[in-house]
Structure 1
Amino acid sequence: MCMKHDKLLELFCKTDQMCLCMLCTVLDHKSHDVAPVKEQYERNLAKLGKTRAIIQQMIKTRQFKIQEFKDSVSISREIADREIAIRNHVFTKLKEAIERHQAKLIESTEEKHRMTEKQAEGFIKEMEQEISELKKRSSELEQFLLLEDHLDFLQNFSSLDAAPPTKNWTKVKVCPPSYEGTVGTAVDQLVEMVKKQVKKFLKESEMKTVQQYAVDVTLDPDTANPRLILSEDGKQVSDGTVWKDLRHNPKRFSHGVCVLGKQFVSSGRFYFEVQVKGKPDWGLGVAAESVNRKGPITASPNNGYWTIHSRKGNFCHLFTESLVRLSQKSKPEKVGVFVDYDEGLVSFYDVDAAALIDAHIGCSFTGKLHPVFLPCANQGGKNSAPLIICPVNPT
């Protein structure tokens, strides 16, 4: 009820934000924006409902963000633990190598001492034998000197007059082995050994780091060129030489003799390994999901392919701009492919040698990237071996 006019409060003044009766409107709020209470109530109720929905959405967004932060911390913890384990492994191996080198140095020093000791023992034994002979002769002479028979004395004199044959020990010496420069040489050798071991362990560490992002890749038969033969488990592909009559599929490569993997990467990191043993010609890498699959292909970054190729056992590069080229003496039997999507990096490793072969750097990726496999032509059996996707076993 209106306290002033004793009337029902049926209206709401938006200007003054207060409830009014009919007389208030006519007398005091004539030029104000006035609406029925029920109408304004429904409007404000709807507005509050929207505000509440917005607030609830804000709460959900923040709860989701909190969980995202927690997940990031958990992932960071997992990565940190893996990195610590890898680095501990490297330093443990290095420590073991240093201890082995130290043990060899000690053994070498001990061996020199043993040789000196053995030489001295030989001389001592020889002189003790001579002393024994000399004592025997001395005893004989002592008895002979007591003889009173002059004739017997003279007859045996010549045989007893001379001392027993002995070695001249005047210039014989046992010299302690020289260790001059041994420590310096040992340290120099140790430094060289440590350099080699560190280089080796860093390679192994890098391999372990990328291998932790391994993905179980399988081939996508819907994308396979009609010439290709895929194994039932989706892990092997080779050139079948004959074009099969397959139904049309927009995903299938019509001319490019290649096949994509089902799995993909659109952020973060991705790694897989492929056996190339027995194949002089092959190609591997990743391709954008958006690549043109109809007509001839050119496997270059400009066309959405980041790959490495072997021709007659030698690496070649097809329009591979922004590629780091490294000397590769060995012929890899297993190749690892690593993608860091966010960093724009695709690198290739000789798995057994734990060595980087090549790397595409500074790449600009958009959309999904799929593993791509190019087994190349059969060549009358010379290149018949399949490309085989391998399970990743950390080196």
Structure 2
Amino acid sequence: MSVSSNQRSEVQFLCSICLDVVTDPVSTPCGHNYCKNCITQHWDDKDHCQCPVCKKVFKTRSDLDNNTFIREMSDQFRREAQQEASSSSSEQQAAKPDVPCDVCTGTKLKALKSCLVCLASYCQTHLEPHQTCSRLKRHQLMEPVENLEDRMCRKHDKPLELFCRTDQTCVCMLCSVLDHKTHELVPLREEYEGKKAELGKTEAEIQLMIQKRRLKIQELKESMKISKDAADRETAEGVQVFTALMESVQRGLYQLVEEIQDKQKTTEKQAEDFIKDLEQEISELMKRSSEVEQLSRSEDHLHLLQSFSSLKTAPPIKNWTKVRVRLPSYEGTLMRAVHQLKNTIRTQMKKLLAESELMKVQQYAVDVTLDPDTAHPDLILSVDNKQVHDSDEEKKVPDNPEIFSYCLSVLGRQSFSSGRFYFEVLVKGKSGWDLGVASESINMEGDVRLSPQDGFWTVWLTDGTEYKAIGSPPVRLHLQSVPKKVGVFVDHEGGLVSFYDVNTAALIFSSTGCCFTDKLHPYFGPGLNDGGENSAPLIICPVSHAV
């Protein structure tokens, strides 16, 4: 793994508080990872529990789950970083140029040390006098370097052994008593250690800034992805809506043209019928004209007189003086077509927008099952805990505060303390039911009052015709159609509970400004069996994401 690729991957395993690879990693309910000590101390210093990344606020201090996967990956990154650091150090060491021994003649061997007093570098053989001779042992040796002259004071030809903090320059011992005697002087090693620590701090600050910017890049990329996904969804919905509208306009145009053409064809048919009758009469009149002309030329007195009487009977003909073709009137045709199209588009727009809104909440669909431990004893639940109906048999109610002892109701097993969720219930064939959500802390004993003040947000049907939204007082609902399947949507942070007619995508009712102080459970009331009139079960359905 290259250093650059390791750094790119490592960003995904950084704690956003300490900005280092996570140690003892834990995950918050919103899915972000932190060092256990970092997030614990962060929450200890705050008035409320909030995720530092997504800013989601938790009503209660959530349990932190150990993330073994992140732990393994962070340990792996540390090992790889150490290996790369060791490899880099070796490479740097290997990259150092060999300093030749200044004493060797012919082939010069590699120097092991450089002497700051002699200003020369020595191989193992020629270094021996400095290791054995007492006078030479006092000389200052160091790792072999080139250009030893640069380490000598140019003014006094002495080794640069001190650092003048006043002038920020390296000086020799003579400089310290002559030119810098009133200045603050420290040994080179002491200043070296200080500057090295300062460089280490600077490097740490730089790395911190790098890590912060890498995290910001990740954040921006995630924002870009979220924005692109939202844009793609809106584009797809826009194409669907406008395509449907254009099809409506096209159908309206076809209907207008067809109406005009039908009127024109009717007029043409009438005129053609008149012309046909006229041509028939002309033919008969021309025949009579020929007979009259022929008889008028006869010189036979007897023949003319005998034939004249038959000419008096003229063939039946129509009086065409007042006959007219009824021309069609097109006045108002276009306006009526436009008005009808406007109404059609308005209706279709309302339907398309409702479908779009329903599809948006359907993306928050969750799998819901019934909780038998909360069901009234008279209720019958299916084996898969997806259906419930009244048995029409009264059973003894046990003394248990965790079940509905009076209301024919049951809660969903799942609970939700944040975010959004949605589920659908088939109510077809029922004359009574109530649906919605209930707070985990509701009172389930006795005659429960279904109201928001008591932790219930529901709608209900009674007598097969009357729909109401539970409130103080209840709100009567006027629905255009009878719902066969009802969708329930909850926005916990937004304080919203909405009910939808899934088949028509129509909004049945929305309760806004709700205050949820506890976990919410789906709530189901199938109603009394009513002698078989309301025996159909409430059925929790999978969400098909299609209207």
TM range (shorter): 0.7 to 0.9
Aligned to 2:264: 113
Aligned to 1:289: 440
- For 1:286, give the aligned amino acid: V
User: 1:346 is matched with which residue: 497, 501, 507?
Assistant: 497
Offset from partner CA, 1:303-358 (integer Å, 9 cap, x none): 3221112222322344457x876422543222111112232110112223332222
- The within-5 A match list for 1:36-75 is 67=218, 70-75=221-226
Residues 1:316 and 2:496 are matched in the alignment = no
Alpha-carbon distance between aligned partners in 1 of 2:221 and 2:377, rounded to the nearest angstrom:
47
Residues 1:302 and 2:302 are matched in the alignment = no
Aligned to 1:360: 511
C-alpha contact (below 8 Å) 1:223/1:260 kept by paired residues: yes
Aligned-pair distance for 1:227? 3.2
Q: Which runs of 5+ in 2 are unaligned?
A: 1-137, 139-192
Alpha-carbon distance between aligned partners in 2 of 1:212 and 1:305, rounded to the nearest angstrom:
24
Alpha-carbon distance between aligned partners in 1 of 2:314 and 2:383, rounded to the nearest angstrom:
97
Aligned-pair distance for 1:293? 4.8
- For 2:269, give the aligned amino acid: K
C-alpha contact (below 8 Å) 1:324/1:360 kept by paired residues: no
- For 2:478, give the aligned amino acid: S
- The within-5 A match list for 1:1-395 is 67=218, 70-160=221-311, 163-240=314-391, 241-243=393-395, 252-253=403-404, 256-293=407-444, 297-313=448-464, 314-320=466-472, 326-393=477-544, 394-395=546-547
Aligned-pair distance for 1:113? 0.7
Alpha-carbon distance between aligned partners in 2 of 1:61 and 1:320, rounded to the nearest angstrom:
52
- For 2:353, give the aligned amino acid: L
C-alpha contact (below 8 Å) 1:228/1:239 kept by paired residues: yes
Q: Secondary structure at the match of 1:279?
A: coil
Percent identity over the alignment? 56
Alpha-carbon distance between aligned partners in 1 of 2:540 and 2:368, rounded to the nearest angstrom:
7
Alpha-carbon distance between aligned partners in 2 of 1:62 and 1:218, rounded to the nearest angstrom:
45
C-alpha contact (below 8 Å) 1:324/1:361 kept by paired residues: no
Alpha-carbon distance between aligned partners in 2 of 1:308 and 1:275, rounded to the nearest angstrom:
14
C-alpha contact (below 8 Å) 1:87/1:205 kept by paired residues: no
C-alpha contact (below 8 Å) 2:467/2:476 kept by paired residues: no
- For 2:528, give the aligned amino acid: A
C-alpha contact (below 8 Å) 2:497/2:512 kept by paired residues: yes
Q: Secondary structure at the match of 1:365?
A: coil
Q: Kindly tell me: are residues 121 and 257 of structure 1, through their superposed partners in 2, closer, same or farther at Cα, counting changes over 3 Å?
A: same
- For 2:467, give the aligned amino acid: F
Q: Secondary structure at the match of 1:218?
A: coil
Q: Secondary structure at the match of 1:95?
A: helix
Q: Kindly tell me: are residues 95 and 385 of structure 1, through their superposed partners in 2, closer, same or farther at Cα, counting changes over 3 Å?
A: same
Q: Kindly tell me: are residues 69 and 327 of structure 1, through their superposed partners in 2, closer, same or farther at Cα, counting changes over 3 Å?
A: farther
Alpha-carbon distance between aligned partners in 1 of 2:376 and 2:240, rounded to the nearest angstrom:
44
Aligned-pair distance for 1:286? 1.2
- For 1:126, give the aligned amino acid: D
Alpha-carbon distance between aligned partners in 2 of 1:65 and 1:388, rounded to the nearest angstrom:
46
Alpha-carbon distance between aligned partners in 2 of 1:260 and 1:74, rounded to the nearest angstrom:
37
Aligned-pair distance for 1:82? 2.9
Most deviating of 155-164 and 277-286: 155-164
Offset from partner CA, 1:215-257 (integer Å, 9 cap, x none): 2322233433433321122210122345489997x86555554
- For 2:234, give the aligned amino acid: E
Offset from partner CA, 1:144-180 (integer Å, 9 cap, x none): 2332222212211222356533212122122421212
Higher relative contact order (CA 8 A, sep 6+): 1
Q: Kindly tell me: are residues 164 and 217 of structure 1, through their superposed partners in 2, closer, same or farther at Cα, counting changes over 3 Å?
A: same
- For 2:299, give the aligned amino acid: E
Q: Kindly tell me: are residues 110 and 329 of structure 1, through their superposed partners in 2, closer, same or farther at Cα, counting changes over 3 Å?
A: closer
Q: Secondary structure at the match of 1:217?
A: coil
Q: Secondary structure at the match of 1:94?
A: helix
C-alpha contact (below 8 Å) 2:367/2:423 kept by paired residues: yes
Q: Kindly tell me: are residues 92 and 276 of structure 1, through their superposed partners in 2, closer, same or farther at Cα, counting changes over 3 Å?
A: same
Q: Kindly tell me: are residues 239 and 97 of structure 1, through their superposed partners in 2, closer, same or farther at Cα, counting changes over 3 Å?
A: same
Alpha-carbon distance between aligned partners in 2 of 1:155 and 1:96, rounded to the nearest angstrom:
77
Alpha-carbon distance between aligned partners in 1 of 2:206 and 2:431, rounded to the nearest angstrom:
63
Offset from partner CA, 1:338-386 (integer Å, 9 cap, x none): 1122321101122233322221101122343221112233334333221
Alpha-carbon distance between aligned partners in 2 of 1:262 and 1:141, rounded to the nearest angstrom:
107
Q: Kindly tell me: are residues 296 and 130 of structure 1, through their superposed partners in 2, closer, same or farther at Cα, counting changes over 3 Å?
A: closer
Q: Which runs of 5+ in 1 are unaligned?
A: 1-5, 7-40
Aligned to 1:25: none
Aligned-pair distance for 1:123? 0.6
Q: Kindly tell me: are residues 69 and 296 of structure 1, through their superposed partners in 2, closer, same or farther at Cα, counting changes over 3 Å?
A: farther
Q: Secondary structure at the match of 2:291?
A: helix
Q: Secondary structure at the match of 1:307?
A: strand
C-alpha contact (below 8 Å) 2:457/2:470 kept by paired residues: no
Q: TM-score, normalised by structure 2?
A: 0.56
Aligned to 2:6: none
Alpha-carbon distance between aligned partners in 2 of 1:264 and 1:75, rounded to the nearest angstrom:
27
